[in-house]
C-alpha cells in the first residue's frame, strides 16, 4: 500500500528591528540572562504595551514579497496559555484579522506552496534545563516575530526544504531578518499527516514543534511519516497531538495533546489600538522592496547568460549577488567574473556563514579591473588567476602586480617558436601524449608558461603544441 505525505509549515521568523515589539528593550542576540528585559517584557502588573511601528512595516514587506494580500485594518489578540516562558500567561498575537493573507511561494518545479497568513506576535522566553533544574531567560521574550503559515501543500521532504530555503532567502533579501537558524531566528512547527495515494481527504495531523535546523526538519519529517504509516498499517489510529524532535535518538516524542484555536480562548487585546494601513502606505512599502531572489536569478540566466547552477549559487548569498553585479559592470562575458567568485574566492570561504558575510579583502571594482584586462586580452587567464590570489592576499588592486610589460603579452609568432622549443625539450611527454596520455601535455605547457612567466596564452599554446606533436 502506498502512502502520501501531506505537510504544512508554520515558520516563525524573528524580525531584525532594534527594539522589541512592545517596549524599548534591545533585540540583540545573547547577553547575560534576563538583562534584555523590562517590566513590559515580563508582564508586571500595571504595564502597558506599545506596538513598534517598524514591526508592522517589516511584516507587510514580508507579505508583499510572498505575494500576499495586505489588510488595511487588523488588530492584536491575546492567545491564552500557561507555560513558564510566558510570564503574562498569554501571548499577544493575531487571530482572525492577520496583517497578510493568501500568498504563495513558487518552487523550481513551478508548483506553488500557498501561504494562508502572515501575522505578527511576540516571542516567548527561553527555558534552560541543566542537571535536573529548569531556568528561565526572558531576554528573548517580546522579540518581534512573523509567523508564516502555509497550506498543507507540501508532498515531500525535498519540497519542504526548498520552500524553507526560498522563504529564508526572501526574508534576507528584503532585510527583515537575518534568519540565522543557529540563533533561533527561524524556527518551524511541522504539521504532518499521511493518506493513501489517490485519496482527497486529509488524515489526522500531528505537529512537531520548534525545529530549528534544516537537517533536523528533514529527519523529523521522515521519522514522523514512517511512524504514522506504521500505525495505520497496524490498524490503529493517529492521535492529534503535539510532538518534539529528539535529535539524539532521531525520533519524535509526544509533548501534549494538540490544541485547537478554541483552547486558546482568543480575544482582542484591550491595551493595543487597531492597526490601520492606507493603500498609499502599502504601495510605498511595495516600492521600497529590492529585487527579489527569484527575479534576480531569472535575470542572471536570461540577460547575463549564466548557467543555472552558477546563478543559483550567486543568488543564494545576498552579499555575493550584490558583489557580483558590481564586479561584472560593463563586462561582455559576465561568466568570467562569476567564475572568479565561485571558484577562487569561494575556495577561501569554507562555510555558508563565511559566504553569507562575504568579507573579502578586495572591493568589486578591483575584480572588475582584472576581468576587463582579461577581456581586452592584455593578460591571459592563467596570469589573471595568479594575480587574483595576490590581490586577495594583500587587498591591493591589479595595477600593483601587473606592469605595462606584462600586458604586452607574447605575439603568436614568438609563441610558435617557443612551442617548438618546448616539444623538443620534452620529447618523452610528447611521446606519451601520442600514446594517448592526455595529461602528459601538461609538462609541455608548463614549460612554456615558465619560460614566458605566465604571459603566454595557454589555450593557444595547447592548440599549437598538439599540432606540432602530430606533424
* 79's grid cell: 492567545
Residue with cell 561584472: 328
CA dist., res. 348 & res. 159, Å (int): 31
DSSP assignment letter at 270 = T
The set of residues, in sequence order, having a beta carbon less than 8 Å from that of 4 and lying 6+ positions away, is 155, 194, 195, 196, 197, 199
Sign of CA dihedral 40, 43, 46, 50: positive
pLDDT at 145: 97
pLDDT at 52: 97
- Give how far Cα 88 sits from Cα of 123, 124, 125, 458, Å: 12, 10, 11, 71
- Nearest residue to 167 via CA among 99, 120, 207, 113: 113
The set of residues, in sequence order, having a beta carbon less than 8 Å from that of 364 and lying 6+ positions away, is 323, 324, 326, 327
Residue 104's Cβ-count burial label (10 Å; 0-12, 13-18, 19+) is: middle
Residue 121: how many CB atoms within 10 A of its CB? 21
CA dist., res. 160 & res. 197, Å (int): 19
Q: Please, are residues 73 and 274 in contact by the beta-carbon 8 Å criterion?
A: yes
Sign of CA dihedral 331, 335, 339, 342: positive
The set of residues, in sequence order, having a beta carbon less than 8 Å from that of 470 and lying 6+ positions away, is 434
Domains of the chain and any CATH numbers? 3-285 (no CATH), 291-408 (no CATH), 412-470 (1.10.10.410)
Residue with cell 577562487: 344
Sign of CA dihedral 323, 389, 344, 339: positive
CA dist., res. 471 & res. 469, Å (int): 6
- Nearest residue to 191 via CA among 162, 165, 228: 228
Q: What is the pTM of this model?
A: 0.84
* 393's grid cell: 592576499
DSSP assignment letter at 379 = S
pLDDT at 417: 79
SS3 312: helix
The set of residues, in sequence order, having a beta carbon less than 8 Å from that of 67 and lying 6+ positions away, is 103, 104, 105, 115
pLDDT at 209: 92
**pLDDT averaged over 10-residue windows placed end to end, the chain, 471 residues:** 93 96 94 94 92 97 98 96 90 96 96 98 91 92 97 97 96 94 90 93 93 94 96 93 93 80 87 96 96 96 96 96 95 95 96 93 96 86 90 94 69 76 80 76 78 73 79 71
* Beta-bridge partners for 268: 77
* 10's grid cell: 508554520
**Letter string b/e over residues 195-209, b meaning 16 or more CB atoms within 10 A of that residue's CB:** beeeeeeebbbbbbb
pLDDT at 379: 82
pLDDT at 115: 98
**CA gyration radius, the chain:** 29
* Beta-bridge partners for 74: 275
Give the DSSP per-residue string, 93-120: E--SS-SEEEEEEE-TTS-EEEEEEEEE
The set of residues, in sequence order, having a beta carbon less than 8 Å from that of 3 and lying 6+ positions away, is 194, 195, 196, 197, 225, 229, 232
* 456's grid cell: 603566454
Give the DSSP per-residue string, 119-167: EEEE---EEEEETTEEEEEGGGTT-EEEEEEE-S-B-SHHHHHHHHHHH
- Nearest residue to 31 via CA among 124, 126, 111: 126
Pairing of strands 206-211, 241-246: parallel
pLDDT at 303: 95
Amino acid at each position: 500500500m502506498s502512502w502520501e505525505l501531506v505537510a504544512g509549515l508554520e515558520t516563525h521568523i524573528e524580525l531584525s528591528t532594534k527594539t522589541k515589539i512592545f517596549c524599548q528593550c534591545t533585540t540583540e542576540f545573547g547577553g547575560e540572562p534576563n538583562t534584555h528585559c523590562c517590566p513590559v517584557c515580563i508582564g508586571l502588573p500595571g504595564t502597558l504595551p506599545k506596538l513598534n511601528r517598524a514591526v508592522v512595516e517589516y511584516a507587510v514587506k514580508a507579505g508583499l514579497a510572498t505575494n500576499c494580500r495586505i489588510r488595511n485594518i487588523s488588530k492584536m489578540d491575546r492567545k491564552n496559555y500557561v507555560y513558564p516562558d510566558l510570564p503574562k500567561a498569554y501571548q499577544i498575537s493575531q487571530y482572525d484579522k492577520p496583517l497578510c493573507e493568501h500568498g504563495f511561494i513558487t518552487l523550481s518545479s513551478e508548483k506553488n506552496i500557498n501561504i494562508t497568513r502572515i501575522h505578527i506576535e511576540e516571542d516567548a522566553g527561553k527555558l534552560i534545563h541543566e542537571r535536573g533544574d529548569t531556568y528561565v531567560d526572558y531576554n528573548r521574550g517580546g522579540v518581534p516575530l512573523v509567523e508564516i503559515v502555509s497550506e498543507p501543500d507540501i508532498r515531500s521532504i525535498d519540497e519542504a526544504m526548498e520552500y524553507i530555503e526560498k522563504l529564508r532567502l526572501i526574508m534576507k533579501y528584503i532585510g527583515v531578518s537575518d534568519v540565522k537558524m543557529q540563533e533561533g531566528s527561524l524556527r518551524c512547527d511541522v504539521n504532518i499527516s499521511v493518506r493513501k495515494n489517490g485519496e482527497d481527504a486529509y488524515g489526522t495531523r500531528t505537529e512537531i514543534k520548534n525545529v530549528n535546523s534544516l537537517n533536523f526538519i528533514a529527519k523529523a519529517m521522515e521519522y514522523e511519516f514512517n511512524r504514522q504509516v506504521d500505525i495505520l498499517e497496524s490498524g490503529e489510529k493517529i492521535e492529534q497531538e503535539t510532538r518534539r524532535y529528539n535529535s539524539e535518538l532521531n525520533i519524535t516524542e509526544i509533548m501534549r495533546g494538540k490544541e485547537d484555536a478554541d483552547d486558546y480562548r482568543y480575544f482582542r487585546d484591550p491595551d493595543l489600538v487597531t492597526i490601520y494601513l492606507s493603500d498609499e502606505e502599502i504601495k510605498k512599502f511595495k516600492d521600497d522592496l529590492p529585487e527579489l531572489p527569484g527575479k534576480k536569478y531569472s535575470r542572471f540566466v536570461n540577460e547575463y547568460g549564466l548557467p543555472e547552477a552558477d546563478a543559483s549559487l550567486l543568488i543564494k548569498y545576498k552579499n555575493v549577488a550584490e558583489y557580483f553585479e558590481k564586479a561584472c559592470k560593463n563586462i561582455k562575458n559576465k561568466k568570467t567574473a562569476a567564475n572568479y567568485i565561485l571558484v577562487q574566492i569561494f575556495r577561501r570561504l569554507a562555510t555558508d556563514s563565511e559566504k553569507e558575510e562575504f568579507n573579502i579583502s578586495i572591493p568589486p571594482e578591483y575584480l572588475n579591473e582584472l576581468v576587463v584586462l582579461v577581456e581586452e586580452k592584455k593578460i591571459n587567464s592563467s596570469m589573471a588567476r595568479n594575480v587574483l590570489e595576490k590581490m586577495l592576499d594583500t587587498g591591493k588592486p591589479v595595477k600593483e602586480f601587473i606592469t605595462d610589460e606584462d600586458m604586452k603579452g607574447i605575439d603568436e609568432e614568438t609563441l610558435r617558436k617557443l612551442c617548438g622549443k618546448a616539444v623538443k625539450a620534452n620529447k618523452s611527454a610528447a611521446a606519451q601524449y601520442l600514446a594517448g596520455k592526455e595529461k602528459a601535455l601538461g609538462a609541455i605547457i608548463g614549460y612554456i608558461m615558465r619560460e614566458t612567466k605566465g604571459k603566454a596564452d595557454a589555450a593557444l599554446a595547447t592548440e599549437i603544441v598538439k599540432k606540432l606533436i602530430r606533424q
